[in-house]
Amino acid sequence: MLGEDIDVVCGGECIVDLIPIDRSVYKACFGGAPMNTAIACSRLGLRVGAITCIGNDPLGEFLVDTLRSNLVDLSRVRRSSLRTTLALVVKLLGGEVDYIFYRKPWSLSADTEYAMDEADLEYLSRARLLHVSGFAFSQDPARGEYLKLLSEARRMGVKTSLDPTFRMDVWRDLDEAYKVYRRLFSIVDIVLSTDRELKTLLGLTDVSKILDICEDYGWEAVGIKMGARGSILCIEGDVAGLESFKVDVVDTVGAGDAWNAAVIYGILNRLTVDETVLIANAVAAIKCTRIGAIDGLPTLEEAKRFISYTDRPKPITLDNY
């Protein structure tokens, strides 16, 4: 993709998820919210690049090979002498998951050691949108470097998108986390978040207040992911909400990242808010039928076929939440 325009650059952590298959067996899967979204965007037909730091070890090779095989451009991917970051996935009742991370502040690993350079800025200048995760801002030096990247994106007129990916396990201090997130919320154009994250980080008592928050921060778009209950999307003041598609759920890891990718696709291709939330819910539902964050991610045509052959979810409104 050298010298070519890019639809989306995804910046942040690229890690290995250890996902439980049964009580004693774990499967090593590709992970890291922004890179899951990168692959999902690529499957939907967007031209995608990655800015990240990965260990120069066998697990790092697995991550790099996975990005390459999914047509994500690797020209700005760093390889570190540190080990690749790991996440142990813990499945909770009701299909939700929690994570235990092997990286700062608990141990030193590759993803927190990203350092921006001029080549990254030239690369970013050819993109339409930069998508990042809040997880990547939890520790320095990566925090400061990704903040520079966001600032430069704004200066160049590149749209910026944030998935908060708030994981308490990777923050030394919650007051520090809230401060960082407030800064991030003030400098991005698009926020794609769970309802729980928005309630925690912004002190919301209910989702219906999100339009007020959106106006206060000047966001172009905000997406609210509510798991099995569905999602709500607001783009430039137009709001649409939709219940989740009914599927046999095998694994929810990465479903939100898949949803993000479809919303990004919709925004870049100027789809209506109703069209965008429908495709996003479909892409997330299809992902949930396979183990791992990227296995089973559909192409755009596969998502459209799924929609045509599956019962349409009911619409939902902010008043219900």
pTM above 0.85, yes or no: yes
What average pLDDT does the segment 265-291 reach? 97
Domain containing 232 — which CATH number? 3.40.1190.20
Q: Report, as an integer, the average pLDDT of 119-137.
A: 97
| Domain membership flag for residue 194 | yes
Element (H, E) at 192: strand 190-194
Choose among 180, 122, 127: nearest CA to 158. 127
Q: Give the burial class of 178: count Cβ atoms within 10 A of its Cβ; 0-12 exposed, 13-18 middle, 19 or more buried.
A: middle
Is 254 part of any domain? Answer: yes
Query: Angle between the 58-69 and 33-43 helix axes, to the nearest 10 degrees?
Result: 30
Average pLDDT over residues 34-59: 98
> Rounded CA gap, 212 and 263, in Å?
21
β 6-11/97-102 pair status: unpaired
Q: How confident is the model at residue 320 (pLDDT cuts 50, 70, 90)?
A: low
The answer to the question of residue 76 being in a domain is no
Q: Answer whether residue 317 shows pLDDT above 90.
A: no
Q: What is the pLDDT of residues 171-188, one digit of tens each?
A: 989 999 999 999 999 999
Give the model's pLDDT for residue 69. 97
User: How crowded is residue 281: how many other Cβ atoms within 10 Å of its Cβ?
Assistant: 26
Q: What range defines the domain where residue 151 resides?
A: 6-13+33-53+115-320
Question: How does the average pLDDT of the chain come out, rounded?
Answer: 93
Give the tens place of pLDDT for each residue, 213-222: 888 899 999 9
Q: Give the Cα separation of 320 and 317 in Å (integer).
A: 6
pLDDT score at 65: 98
**How many domains are contained in the chain?**
1
For residue 285, what are the contacts with CB-CB under 8 A and spacing of at least 6?
A: 244, 245, 247, 255, 306
What is the rounded CA–CA span in Å between residue 37 and residue 41?
6
Does residue 121 lie within any of the structural domains? yes
Assigned domain for 288 exists: yes
pLDDT at position 283 = 98
pLDDT at 63 > cutoff 80: yes
Residue 89 belongs to a domain: no
77 lies in a domain? Answer: no
- Residue 283 in any domain: the answer is yes
